[in-house]
Amino acid sequence: MECVRMIASPRYSEKRVGYLGAMMLLDEKQDASLLITNSIKNDLSNSNQYIQSLALCTLACMGSAEMCRDLAPEIDRLLRASNSYIKKKAALCAVHIVRKVHDLGELFTKAARSLLTEKNHGVVHGAVVLITELCERNSETLERFRKTVPDLVQIMKGLVISGYSPDHDVAGISDPFLQVRILRLLRILGRNNEAASDAMNDLLAQVATNTDSTKTVGNAVLYETVLTVLDIKSESGLRVLAVNILGRFLLNNDRNIRYIAMTSLQKIVGTDHNAVQRHRGTIVDCLKDQDASVKRRALELSLALVSASNIRSMMKELLSFLSSCPPELRSQTASGIFNAAERYAPSQRWHIDTILHVLTTAGGDVRDETVPNLIQLITNTSELHCYTVHKLYRALLSDISQQPLVQVACWCIGEYGDLLLTGECQETEPVQVHRDYVLDVLETVLQSHMSSPSTRGFALTATMKLSTRITENVDIVSIYGSCIDVELQQRAVEYNALFKKYDHMRAAVLERMPVIEKNSQGHTNGETIKESQTVKVKPGEPQQPANQVQGDGKNSVRVTL
Amino acid sequence: MIKAILIFNNHGKPRLIRFYQYFAEDMQQQIIRETFHLVSKRDDNVCNFLEGGSLIGGSDYKLIYRHYATLYFVFCVDSSESELGILDLIQVFVETLDKCFENVCELDLIFHMDKVHYILQEVVMGGMVLETNMNEIVAQVEVQNRMEKSELCNQN
């Protein structure tokens, strides 16, 4: 309330503090802000330009929609005032109004157009921002403002060619802020429009070649030029020039420049894929940079650049990156690798190897649907069952802390445990595994404190399946009949029942899983496999052949006994 | 659009806070803490752009910061602003402060907070860049200070 009182006071010093307080403490949601609307209105008509500017500033910072509606005509009047100080503030205030109340944009279009011809750079800057905002909101206004493209080109030319102007010079370039803004507006105006793009081509080529790129400011202007060239319908020579500039940025020592170069390459990797591929080597090197932001950008770009031809080399790089990358990027890397492997895998064995590698390095960070996807992949490649199960067994022996890996390994050992015992396998060196060792491994998983409940579930079911394939083993299963975890307890009790009452059906129930059809929805598959592992023993239900996995298009998959 | 401007020292104490978008009081404090946490971990030779934390808003927002001696100047912007342009803007702002306060240091920010706000008002208004010419900004601030002083003299 003090603020309101101070704002209403006629003295400048009090007004100043009052407005400052209002901006800091009040916001558009509070009712007190309505009280100052009248004060602002009076101050906007004040003869002193600084009082007017205070009012404009406050309105721009915290004006609510009602306030904006009330005061919009005033702002429009001020836009045509003679004072350039006021005009530029009024222009930005108009931007705020347009953001809050979209319909009022119509009110400001005429005034905005006339402001472009001002000499004062501040006013032109404000006008450009206002026009940008208007064009972004409304496509009709965009059409109308296309006619201003020649004027804008003229202003830019003036800025680029003109000699040293001490007022606006920043490190040798005249008013880079204004140049950047105009380039951005040209980008919006030229998008999808041939005529406007033609008008800008010369100018863009000129800016691109004449700007000095040794300083940050020069690079800022060049960067904006490149973005504009790539967005409008420019001629191909210009596009090549733009991509070359980006390539130069990538080799720059300054990390900032490399960061923004990669950001812009990300935007064009969809359209100019080949051009970006040329710089693949540099991008992959950036993966090894110490800077986390640069690494993140390099990762996204590398994942976008993976294609059928370079999949092997890229995957090597990505896997070595995975082992050394910061923890927040791990899950993104892992899922990116999986996607790339799925689309471009040159062979099944390579695919499985890659996934296993990821699971051993970063197992804790992969997404949940990876496990069912991997299992489905393994069942599909029947010739590699032996190889896969040997590899998984060995991985399990060395480390049981990575949950997804352990889950997949348990499942595979359960399904193909007999292949482990035979020991013959063409792809890897034959190792005879004794059946006790296999059971020991599963028991270790069950008892380890590192295993999550779902992992234990996997291990228990796997032990069950091995009972038909390798040996009879009732003891482990019955221990878990009194386990605290409800899921495990239920499974253990059911399996026990399978041994005792339904022993004649045990072999049929625990047959090998058929090949799982790949559904278009990855999530459905996850549910498929989880449900088929929980064998529901319901006495009294009609007898049907076991393990009948009926997949229809939706989610209902039942395994009935 | 610039969402927020934060200045804090090496220990995380905020020296100037300006939000151009409404946030509740405790949210503001949390944002400051989180930003300091992110920015202080950075080495001096890494790039000046950070992807924003989860609090100040989703994927569109970046933190652009500069570290001068004991102070961090952090601008939180969205994708409509040019990153390198904002870096230059921070430089212009600091140079303006230097001109107005003569060899500005942290104490100036603490004891003359209102003056710093007035200078900032001339540079950024409502989240948008208003004026980038250092001389122009300094001239305007000088005139306003003179007006204030003359009023105080007239009163006495």
pLDDT 10s digits, A529-556: 444 444 443 333 333 333 333 333 323 3
| B133:A122 CB<8 A | yes
Q: Inform me whether the C-beta atom of residue B136 falls under 8 Å from chain A C-beta atoms.
A: yes
| B45:A50 CB<8 A | no
Question: Which chain B residue lies closest to A25 (C-alpha atoms)?
Answer: B25
| A223:B84 CB<8 A | yes
On whether the CB atoms of residues A69 and A60 are closer than 8 A, the answer is no
Give me the half-sphere count of Cα atoms (radius 13 Å) on the Cβ side of residue A330. Answer: 16
CA torsion, points A453, A459, A464, A469, in degrees to nearest 10?
170
Per residue in A69-114, pLDDT (tens digit) is: 888 888 888 887 777 788 888 888 888 888 877 777 777 777 777 7
Question: Which chain A residue lies closest to B46 (C-alpha atoms)?
Answer: A291
Highest mean pLDDT (candidates A191-195, A202-206, A533-537, B9-13)? B9-13
Highest mean pLDDT (candidates A157-166, A190-199, B39-48)? B39-48
- Backbone dihedral region of A540: left (phi > 0), alpha (psi from -120 to 50 degrees) or beta? left
| A216:B132 CB<8 A | no
Q: Inform me whether the C-beta atom of residue B145 falls under 8 Å from chain A C-beta atoms.
A: no
Highest mean pLDDT (candidates A53-57, A214-218, A269-273, A388-392)? A53-57
On whether the CB atoms of residues B75 and B62 are closer than 8 A, the answer is no
Secondary structure (3-state) at B10:
coil
Question: Which residues lie below 8 Å from residue A107, measured CB to CB, with a gap of 6+?
Answer: A72, A73, A76
| A220:B47 CB<8 A | no
Report the C-alpha gap between A446 and A455 in whole angstroms: 8
Residue with the bigger pLDDT between A187 and A525: it is A187
Mean pLDDT in residue range A256-272: 79
The minimal CB distance from B84 to the residues A57, A129, A260 is found for: A260
On whether the CB atoms of residues A180 and B82 are closer than 8 A, the answer is yes
Residue with tokens 């500069």: B66
Query: Is 0.90 exceeded by the ipTM?
Result: no
Per residue in B19-52, pLDDT (tens digit) is: 888 778 888 888 888 888 888 888 777 778 887 6
Q: Measured between beta carbons, which residues in chain A are less than 8 angstroms from residue B121?
A: 57
Distance from CA of B105 to the nearest CA of A (A): 22
Q: How confident is the model at residue A515 (pLDDT cuts 50, 70, 90)?
A: low
**What is the pLDDT at residue A475?**
63
Amino acid at A12: Y
Q: Measured between beta carbons, which residues in chain B are less than 8 angstroms from residue A267?
A: none
| A290:B43 CB<8 A | yes
Question: A-contacting residues of B 21-60, CB under 8 Å?
Answer: 22, 43, 45-51
Per residue in B50-72, pLDDT (tens digit) is: 876 566 556 677 888 898 888 99
pTM comes to 0.69
**What is the pLDDT at residue B52?**
61
Using H for helix, E for strand and C for coil, what is the string for A41-66? HHHHCCCCHHHHHHHHHHHHHHCCHH
On whether the CB atoms of residues B24 and B48 are closer than 8 A, the answer is no
Mean pLDDT in residue range A108-125: 78
- Phi, psi (rounded to 5 degrees) for A147: -70, -15
Which is it for strands B62-68 and B49-51: parallel, antiparallel or unpaired? antiparallel
Q: How confident is the model at residue B73 (pLDDT cuts 50, 70, 90)?
A: very high
| A92:B125 CB<8 A | yes
Q: Measured between beta carbons, which residues in chain A are less than 8 angstroms from residue B118?
A: 16, 20
The overall average pLDDT reported for chain A is 73
Amino acid at A117: T
Report the C-alpha gap between A115 and A76 in whole angstroms: 12
| Mutate: best of B6, B54, B61, B132, partner A, most A CBs <10 A | B132
Share of chain A above pLDDT 70, in %: 80
Q: Measured between beta carbons, which residues in chain A are less than 8 angstroms from residue B126?
A: 57, 60-61, 92-93, 95-96
Residue B77 forms beta bridges with which residues?
B2, B62
Q: Inform me whether the C-beta atom of residue B88 falls under 8 Å from chain A C-beta atoms.
A: yes
**What is the pLDDT at residue B7?**
92
Question: Which chain A residue lies closest to B139 (C-alpha atoms)?
Answer: A85
Per residue in A353-401, pLDDT (tens digit) is: 887 777 777 766 777 777 777 777 777 777 777 777 777 777 777 777 7
| Mutate: best of A3, A6, A16, partner B, most B CBs <10 A | A16
Q: Measured between beta carbons, which residues in chain B are less than 8 angstroms from residue A184?
A: 82
Question: Which chain A residue lies closest to B133 (C-alpha atoms)?
Answer: A168
The answer to whether residue B97 scores a pLDDT higher than 50 is: yes
DSSP-derived secondary structure letter, A10: S
Distance from CA of B70 to the nearest CA of A (A): 22
Mean pLDDT in residue range A207-234: 78
Q: What is each CA distance from B12 to B38, B45, B76, in whole angstroms?
A: 11, 20, 16
Question: Which residues lie below 8 Å from residue B104, measured CB to CB, with a gap of 6+?
Answer: B94, B97, B98
Radius of gyration of chain A from its Cα atoms, rounded to whole angstroms: 34
Query: In this complex, how many residue pairs, one in chain A and one in chain B, have their CB atoms less than 8 Å apart?
Result: 127
Tokens of A354: 């890659």
Mean pLDDT in residue range B97-104: 88
On whether the CB atoms of residues A228 and A221 are closer than 8 A, the answer is no
The answer to whether residue A27 scores a pLDDT higher than 70 is: no
Residue A169 forms beta bridges with which residues?
A174
| B130:A259 CB<8 A | no
| B125:A121 CB<8 A | no
Report the C-alpha gap between A433 and A192 in whole angstroms: 66
